Amino acid sequence: MLVPNASLDINKLLHEAGRSHDEASKTISTTGISSIRYAHPKLFSGFVFDGLERIQQQHRELLANVDTVIVVSQTFDQRIPSVSSRIQNKLNLAPDTFCIDVIDGCSGYIKALSLAEMLEKKGRKKICIVAGDLNSTMTRNADVGTKILFGDGVSVSILESDHSTLETKIYNNGDLNNVISCSAYDNVMNMHGFEVFRFTRNVVPQMIRSHLNNSKETLDSYDLVAIHQASKLIVSAICVSIKYNNRLCDDFACEKIGNLGAGSIGAWLSQASGLEKKGRLKMLAIGFGSGLSWGLASLVVEITRNEVIYV
């Protein structure tokens, strides 16, 4: 997990916006987010390159022999050339490395896993997924209610082909009402919080139940249920609805990081200590948000490196 060294205190941000002490405390208790990571003025590509260089220095074997690079973000700072192809060059990967940039947000990690599922069938053996956002580029001038939810950071995941099954499902319902939006013209994120909560409450538990029914499984079949870290309120509401709580870690664990969009599941994993000692774990990953889109992935994880690197 790559996060900036700098952070912003949510209590301070709310006081500066005119909120009383009681109002600020209630907001932080509801969202579960007490601080967010902040990279400004650094831009996405530079942040990613610096972070991957740090990984290479500390864990060179992790990035060796990667044959696919998938980058998922909503905060690309450059259209041409692609970030994924520049990563291929910087990591000195083979010329036939498959490289693709995907513009997506909170369910983008699931879409990256879906791409990995298809590419594995094409013979790809080691896939690097770089997912996340420098949300500060979109929230610096946003409403404080939006600004306090979204942090900066990027997750780096390595998927290696084996005999386990990776299964994904993706759903979309085009957001014609701009429930979550950011135009290229003003680059300011806008979000209708109640509509986001209602959308999540309606579609996510239903999707999970449908998956379990079709697969003839129960939630107890999984060692981990990784829910997109939108906020403590939303994660808790989903857990109550599906009657589930993680046994190995907290359901919401990004109180000092914030919502990283496609990077949030990786951020959640980075906060779960001791998973390296657990061996192979079956995980259900759940993403939802901008698009509007939602999806899930059932996969086996064996975490050999699980840490936060500060950039």
Here the tokens at position 70 are: 């998938």
Cβ neighbors of 129 (< 8 A, separation 6 or more) are 70, 72, 109, 112, 113, 116, 155, 156, 157, 158, 159
State the chain's mean pLDDT as an integer. Answer: 95
- pLDDT tens column, 154-213: 999 999 988 788 999 999 999 989 999 999 889 999 999 889 999 999 999 999 999 999
- pLDDT tens column, 78-125: 999 999 999 999 999 999 999 999 999 999 999 999 999 999 999 999
Q: Provide the residue ranges of all domains of the chain, joining segments of one domain with +.
A: 1-311
The four Cα atoms 101, 105, 107, 110 give a dihedral, to 10 degrees, of 20
Q: Does residue 282 register a pLDDT over 90? A: yes
* Cβ(215)–Cβ(169) below 8 Å: no
pLDDT of residue 7: 97
Structural fold of domain 1-311: Peroxisomal Thiolase; Chain A, domain 1 (3.40.47)
Whole-number Å distance between alpha carbons of 231 and 246: 16
Helix (H) or strand (E) holding 45: helix 44-58
Whole-number Å distance between alpha carbons of 45 and 105: 16
pLDDT of residue 161: 85
* Cβ(278)–Cβ(304) below 8 Å: no
